[in-house]
Structure 1
Amino acid sequence: MVFRFLNATVLLAATAIFTSVPITTSESICTLSDSESCAVDTLTPSDDDGSVLIYPGGNTRCAFDDYTDPTTTFSTNSTYFFQVFPNGGSDKSKLMLFFQGGGACADEDTCAFGLQCSLGASATFTTVATASSAGVLDRTISDNMFKDWNIVFIPYCTGDIHIGNRVTAAYESGIEVLLGNSQCLGLDYAMHMNGYNNTMAVLDWALENYPDVDNLIVGGESAGSLGAQVHSAKIAEMWDVDAKDTRFSVLADSYVGVVPEEHPAAELLVYYGACTNDFGLSEDIVAACEAGTATTIEMIDALLEAQPDGNWLFIDSKGDKTQRYFYALVDEGILGYPFSDLISEADFFSNMSTILDAYRKVSSRITTFYVEGTKHVFLADSNFTSYESDAGLLLGDVINACYTWCNHENANCDNCYTWQHCVSKFHISSEYDNRANVTFWHNCTKCYNDISAPRMLGVEMITL
């Protein structure tokens, strides 16, 4: 039983974090203090990957106090940091905030130190802040459309999808004994679900250093996808994207929030102590959250309504096995392992499609990229641009279509792309010209290209 138990847990955490860990030097590390603001213009990026690690201190921390287990290899570190990739120049017009993934916990059993330590390398969430330079963070990938962006990477080590704000006392249910690692028990390590405070510390620094951007993306993979979604409206508010006419987008890789109907998503937020955090939710949704009744659709719909001009791209495999395992964990609890009867790929995809179709009723700016199979997480891979959707489109083309459009308004017509130039990169036929909202000023001093149309992504054109 134990062997199968461990194999099952691997799927909750494996591939859920960026795997390429850069080499850092003292010059590429900065510690925030009263006398040190770690201003981006004063930082010295690493020669290895062009990033800097910033230690914010204050009320930031990871889930558990420091510990290394000699038997299970389980290791924790309470210290939190985040990672910044300045674009190497003076251009601060493009900023991506990216939330790391790394599994999750769901209740007092799975959020407990004793169980996670006993699981060792198969712990259901990562408990150490980890740097990365993989996938979208890798500036050496020739077709990485984000290689000239400023990127702030938000590590994850709290098991609470970046939104928790609660401390729970050490707890042991008894199931830990079955795993045979008695050295992990009775250590009295409290659980710090501190994702919200960690995130806000990162966002405060990012806003101070990148206050005025033309293009702002909030992205995330796995658990970080949920973090990006939940924090999206607050981030849009912090950057005042409406008043500043900032193009705002959400890039959600491999987590939508499919949970059993009898366990609404709000139950997780209640356990994480997250319902009353400032996410920009309306009072009625906050009340429903606190009551444990708010669904994934109700909460994300409210965030979409709060920022209706945001562009959202969801990237998911149709049978994502990790999302299906987490569904089972929420449904059955830890005693349900090894989950021999997972929700089927077809039922999972049906539930996921229902959620995303509901979002489309609130916003016409929802795009989906479905991949056949069970893979979990795409944006961490060096070949992320080459993944193909069920409609035969490449992920690189879709991301470019969603996030690298022509400017809405451009004072210099010489720099303004034509409709044909913009769409040619996305294999969209010029026969759609008359359906696109494209107007050129007759004197050519300004031109307006609403290239929302490329978001049709394969089947139909959406003209906003």
Structure 2
Amino acid sequence: MKIRTSITVLSVVLSLASCKKEKDNDDKELLALGLLAALQTPYIGITPTRGSITIGGNANRTITYDPKCTGVSGNQTFKFYLKKGTSKNLLVNFMGGGACWDGKNCFGSNTTTYFNRMEILSELAVRLAFNGILEERNANNPFKDWNVLFIPYCSGDLFWGSKATTYTDPTTNTATTLQHRGFDNFLASIDYVSKTTDWKPGTGDKIFVTGQSAGAYGAIYNFPYIKEIFPNNEVNVLGDAGAGVIPTNFQAQGPVDKWGADANVPTWVGVSSTSFATIQLGDFYKQVANFYPSSRVAQYTTNFDGNQRYFFNVQKRIQANVSYTNSTDLWGKSDGSQVDDSTSCTWVTEARTNIITRSGQSSNFRYYIAGGDVHTITTSANFYTESSGGSSLLTWLRGMLANNSDWVNRDCKSIGNCSPPATASSPSGISCSF
């Protein structure tokens, strides 16, 4: 494995700072030093290679992994990032970035719906782009002292896949094979941590698993593996903006057929590789929570999450075999503002059913449903100011970590305003019954 660090920009800034000559240059020196501090990154990048991991306990298996991005230009080599804290507690963060399961949304001009530019990601880019719970300089951050494993996303498969799939590129009409290896990428990352003294949590140290958008699905799907790899640690999980609303048959047509996700299911929680093709995400959360009653399991979403409504619409349009057009008109804006109100309201109803009715059956599960339509929050500065669920989200998460009375279900509906957003068909705000 190779460790890579971003030093080019830092070298330039250091050179500028060393050029001070006279007292009247103090302002320039301070500016250069401030720039240096802003551009420093505590992350190190590691490029894993093919390997295997033996997981005991309920998993009881040895799995070979082959980490890769999908393989298109600029998205070939997978790497993960680590940040050292002052404790041995570990925060595992799965990055978001959409998904693809068809030629129309795996390729195309302005129609590709997953993050396919892994090679622009760097240690410094991770530092600058992802804040919130990853910002160790914020005194209010409950994870500021923790080690961090940041798992990037470049596979288009929600960190579920281990399969090479051939699609027809609609812009060239040629067959192109993509590597959906998100599960392999997860295994390579967690295997490194579990075998490296500097990063492996000690007995009694805590592990918190989370992810945003696509990463939210990776977090809950792979949580049972993390729990079995670290059986002596407290391990909890929070999904951020991944409510799992899908059309009928999507699970079989996408995750199972295109990504091979059924082969990687943590079957010991009571979900077979066969039943995974039809299970609702809320029921998957319930199975996981019930199997690990000493863990705390949670979800966050906004009530009208625009990007989740957008993807629900993409799923429906692909199922309807919509004709490919070389423009953004195929899917509309990713903020969900062009999704028709009927589809949007179906998403709202199903998201609440998944989270409240299905997942909510487990005594160790809680949710926070915020107002509005903003997508993801845990790696945003807004994490520290959100309170539209009826209390501070920061207080709620601190309550989850401490397992105290602050960790209760929170819902914008309970305070009478979920802040419906404007859409193309409802400029004054979408109206849904829920």
Common fold, TM-score beyond 0.5? yes
Aligned amino acid, residue 91 of structure 2: M
- Checking the alignment, whether the CA contact within 8 Å between 2:313 and 2:343 is kept in structure 1 is no
Change in 2 beyond 3 A, CA 1:352/1:230: same
Map 1:30-429 onto structure 2 (within 5 A): 48-58=40-50, 59-65=66-72, 67=73, 76-87=74-85, 89=86, 91-92=87-88, 94-111=89-106, 115-116=107-108, 118-119=109-110, 123-129=112-118, 130-131=121-122, 132-133=126-127, 134-135=130-131, 136-172=133-169, 174=170, 176=171, 185=172, 189-209=176-196, 210-212=200-202, 213-240=204-231, 244=232, 246-260=233-247, 262-270=248-256, 271-281=258-268, 285-289=272-276, 292-333=277-318, 335=322, 337-338=331-332, 340-343=339-342, 345-360=344-359, 362-391=361-390, 393-403=391-401, 405=402
5+ long unaligned stretches in structure 2: 11-37, 51-65, 323-329, 333-337, 415-434
Change in 2 beyond 3 A, CA 1:99/1:268: same
Cα deviations by residue, 1:226-264 (Å, 9 ceiling, x for unpaired): 110111111111111xxx2x322111111110112x235
Shift of the alpha carbon at 1:101? 0.1
Residue 58 of structure 2 corresponds to none
Shift of the alpha carbon at 1:279? 2.4
Q: Give 3-state SS (helix, strand or coil) of 2:71's partner.
A: coil
- Checking the alignment, whether the CA contact within 8 Å between 2:104 and 2:112 is kept in structure 1 is no
Change in 2 beyond 3 A, CA 1:187/1:53: farther
Q: Percent identity?
A: 23
Residue 25 of structure 1 corresponds to 7
Output the CA distance in 1 between the equivalents of 2:377 and 2:67.
28
Output the CA distance in 2 between the equivalents of 1:383 and 1:248.
25
Aligned residues, how many?
A: 339
Cα deviations by residue, 1:93-149 (Å, 9 ceiling, x for unpaired): x111100001111334323xxx24x22xx6311113334122222222232221111
- Checking the alignment, whether the CA contact within 8 Å between 1:263 and 1:330 is kept in structure 2 is no
Aligned amino acid, residue 248 of structure 1: V
Aligned amino acid, residue 396 of structure 1: L
| RMSD (Å), alpha carbons | 2.7
Shift of the alpha carbon at 1:364? 1.1
Q: Give 3-state SS (helix, strand or coil) of 2:300's partner.
A: strand
Cα deviations by residue, 1:256-299 (Å, 9 ceiling, x for unpaired): 10112x2353443212111011524457631223xx32332333
- Checking the alignment, whether the CA contact within 8 Å between 2:265 and 2:272 is kept in structure 1 is no
- Checking the alignment, whether the CA contact within 8 Å between 2:395 and 2:406 is kept in structure 1 is no
Cα deviations by residue, 1:59-115 (Å, 9 ceiling, x for unpaired): 2111124x2xxxxxxxx230110000110x4x31x111100001111334323xxx2
Change in 2 beyond 3 A, CA 1:47/1:280: farther
Change in 2 beyond 3 A, CA 1:194/1:325: same
Shift of the alpha carbon at 1:402? 0.8
Cα deviations by residue, 1:372-429 (Å, 9 ceiling, x for unpaired): 11100111212321111332x11111111111x2xxxxxxxxxxxxxxxxxxxxxxxx
Flag as ranges the 4+ runs of structure 1 deviating above 6 A.
none
- Checking the alignment, whether the CA contact within 8 Å between 1:328 and 1:342 is kept in structure 2 is no
Shift of the alpha carbon at 1:23? 7.6
Aligned amino acid, residue 238 of structure 1: I
Question: Normalized against structure 2, the TM-score is what?
Answer: 0.71
Change in 2 beyond 3 A, CA 1:458/1:303: closer
Question: Normalized against structure 1, the TM-score is what?
Answer: 0.67
Output the CA distance in 2 between the equivalents of 1:102 and 1:294.
23
